[in-house]
């Protein structure tokens, strides 16, 4: 079945550091890929998405490119802020329906 694998966490960075969070997936067909963020005590918010190969999603300085050849959707940000501290989830929805399959999530802490 479909699955999403995220790198192990947690991750702790200093403010203005470069961020990469790895995400790889297994799916049949042509899934859509998403990054969601969960701030403490809140629900999930969509950060960015890409719906076909080579698409780049971007939002709030975060970027991720849909790489079909490596089945990856790594999240990057050039300069993190303390306010980026949250849990980040990579997810996919298969081509046939919209049920999201999530990775385990990774906690990012950014220190001043």
Binding interface with other proteins (CB under 8 A): 31-32, 36, 42-46, 49, 51, 89, 93-105
CB 106 within 8 A of CB 10: yes
Alpha-carbon distance of 94 to 107, in angstroms, equals 25
Q: Which residue lies nearer to other proteins by CB, 28 or 79?
A: 28
Alpha-carbon distance of 49 to 59, in angstroms, equals 9
Q: Which residue lies nearer to other proteins by CB, 14 or 107?
A: 107
CB of 24 to other proteins, least distance (A): 16
CB of 94 to other proteins, least distance (A): 6
Q: Which residue lies nearer to other proteins by CB, 29 or 112?
A: 29
What size, in residues, is the chain? 112
């Amino acid at each position: 079945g479909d699955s999403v694998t995220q790198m192990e966490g947690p991750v702790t960075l200093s403010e203005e550091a470069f961020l990469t969070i790895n995400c790889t997936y297994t799916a049949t067909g042509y899934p859509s890929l998403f990054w969601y963020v969960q701030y403490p005590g809140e629900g999930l918010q969509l950060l960015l998405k890409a719906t076909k190969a080579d698409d780049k999603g971007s939002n709030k300085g975060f970027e991720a490119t849909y790489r079909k050849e490596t089945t990856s959707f790594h999240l990057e940000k050039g300069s993190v802020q303390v306010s980026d501290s949250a849990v980040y989830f990579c997810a996919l929805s298969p081509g046939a329906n919209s049920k999201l399959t999530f990775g385990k999530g990774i906690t990012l802490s950014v220190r001043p």
